[in-house]
Structure 1
Amino acid sequence: MLLLSVTPGPSAGETAQPKPGRVVATYDAALAGISLGDFKVTTTIEGSAYKLVAKGRFSMLAGLVYSATGKTTSSGTLTPAAPQPTTFTLDYDGGKKREQRYIRFNNGTVSEVSIVPRKKKKNSTRIPVGAEQLEDVLDPLTAAFLAVRPNTPAGDLEICRQTIPVFDGKQRFDVVLTPKRSESLGSGAPKSLSG
């Protein structure tokens, strides 16, 4: 199951720095109408600084089959080009499986990674992550909620034509976005929307 959220960014005519504030959003995760859990994301912006906090609780059959809780945080700076994370944390408790991750960034480059417990390396076909792949990357939370192009005009599909480089502490991957379609809203649409 893949959950993806994209928040709108300012248009080309707007300032690159959003107004200070706090947004709290709660999401329900369900499959075939059966609730699997929920998570809450709190976004706080003060000047160019941002902080994201996400907390989740998931279970199957009231915890008889599976139960997990987690918390992840990210903080950093919003720049005209892209967000620049400074720290990312993840605390996960899935009963028998627990993990804590910490990533520190310096100017968009991963400078420190800590994972507890550290698992023994298995024989794997995975390609090791090199130093050059840890440059100009985002953490998963920033990538999911703040990765937008602030210089794209409102309604421009180019906002969905981008590749977002992500490092989660173990893997480096790209999230490739492509626009699906464009639709014009009729005269009955709310005045705050246009297009």
Structure 2
Amino acid sequence: MFKDVFAKGRRAGRATAAVAAGLLLCSLPAGPAAAETTRLGGVYDISVSGLTIARGSLSLVVQGNAYSAKAGMEPAGIGTLFSSGKGGAEASGWLSGKSVRPARYKMASRAADRDFFVDLEQGSGKVRSMRVTPKFKPNAERIKVTKKHTRGVVDPLSAILMPISARRGDEKSVCARKIPVFDGWTRFDIQLSYKETREVSGKGYDGQVIVCSARWIPVAGHRPSVASVKYMAENRKMEAWLAPLGAGNVYVPYRIEMGTKSGTLVVEPRKLDLSGARDQATR
């Protein structure tokens, strides 16, 4: 749901956070089985120190073991005084047990009069093809991204999907994971750990959320001496509130908080359809 909200983690090499999601570009496996479809739609406010700076939109569809998502973001509130940039992302892939296997990720945005574009194709647990604009300028300090850094990774958008086992009472395990993310420029991990369980209500969802502490861990593509990289790597003020989607075997971010040098950045729903509505489709 985030250019990748943890994509803010991505911009630790160049900035700090955003919102994203994706669109199903792959066909579902053929066969007469019944496929359960679960949908999520939402509008999110992005604020710093209580001041709204941007607004994001997210749509997500999970059909059987296939997922697709799409997200957009544009300035809002006080943010319109400083930026006219906007962007969007889309992703698709498959869920396999407790794993997410992306197939395609595309992101396009414009900020500070610069265009950013990423097109990743994945398969067999690795990035098969990649187009990225702009490319990093040569720098001896930058940790080189190699093939090993692009194996077994998810894109920033697919990272919002967190499958768990179907066992009852296993909800806390959603935080027991390290998410390997590659955004086309940098490779980083998001380390989650369980913090607490809360009840939320209003804005379209009433129920429990699992609160995870989060850490951003740089792996490759970054320059270790850059101030923003150091700040994010040492940042202990990061957490994600996760809510169940549909039957509860997949969790997605409900709210994200992150400390920044300008104050606490919060991504939270303004209007959310996370009712878990499902339907049966015959393939």
TM-score range with shorter-chain normalisation?
0.7 to 0.9
In structure 2, relative to structure 1, the CA distance for the partners of 1:139 and 1:150 (3 Å cut) is: farther
Q: State the Cα distance separating 1:59 from its structure 2 match.
A: 5.2
- What are the Cα deviations for residues 73-111 of structure 1, in whole angstroms up to 9, with x where unaligned? 000111113111100000001251111110000122111
Mapped partners of 1:77, 1:134: distance in 2: 18
Q: State the Cα distance separating 1:61 from its structure 2 match.
A: 4.1
Letter in 2 for 1:81: K
In structure 2, relative to structure 1, the CA distance for the partners of 1:193 and 1:20 (3 Å cut) is: same
Q: State the Cα distance separating 1:45 from its structure 2 match.
A: 1.8
Question: Is the 1:78–1:84 contact (alpha carbons within 8 Å) kept by the matching residues of 2?
Answer: yes
Give the aligned partner of residue 82 of structure 1.
99
Moved more, 79-88 or 119-128: 119-128
Gaps spanning 5+ residues in structure 1: where?
6-16, 185-190
Give the aligned partner of residue 111 of structure 1.
128
In structure 2, relative to structure 1, the CA distance for the partners of 1:55 and 1:135 (3 Å cut) is: same
Task: Identify the match of residue 133 of structure 1 among 136, 145, 149.
Answer: 149
Secondary structure (helix, strand or coil) at the match of 1:179 reads strand
Mapped partners of 1:63, 1:138: distance in 2: 31
Question: Is the 2:197–2:209 contact (alpha carbons within 8 Å) kept by the matching residues of 1?
Answer: no
Give the aligned partner of residue 194 of structure 2.
179
Give the aligned partner of residue 8 of structure 1.
none
Provide the aligned length of Structure 1 versus Structure 2: 178
**Higher relative contact order (Cα pairs below 8 Å, separated by 6+ residues):** 2
- What are the Cα deviations for residues 19-73 of structure 1, in whole angstroms up to 9, with x where unaligned? 3032101110112222111101100122221101001102574634222100100
Question: Is the 2:197–2:208 contact (alpha carbons within 8 Å) kept by the matching residues of 1?
Answer: no
Secondary structure (helix, strand or coil) at the match of 1:20 reads strand
Question: Is the 1:40–1:56 contact (alpha carbons within 8 Å) kept by the matching residues of 2?
Answer: yes
Mapped partners of 1:51, 1:28: distance in 2: 22
Question: Is the 2:118–2:131 contact (alpha carbons within 8 Å) kept by the matching residues of 1?
Answer: yes
Gaps spanning 5+ residues in structure 2: where?
1-15, 21-33, 200-205, 211-283
Give the aligned partner of residue 121 of structure 1.
137
Q: State the Cα distance separating 1:155 from its structure 2 match.
A: 4.7
State the identity %. 23
Question: Is the 2:40–2:61 contact (alpha carbons within 8 Å) kept by the matching residues of 1?
Answer: yes
Mapped partners of 1:194, 1:27: distance in 2: 17
- Determine whether 1:56 maps to 2:109: no
Secondary structure (helix, strand or coil) at the match of 1:180 reads strand
What TM-score results when the alignment is normalised by the length of structure 2? 0.55
Secondary structure (helix, strand or coil) at the match of 2:116 reads strand
Letter in 2 for 1:106: G
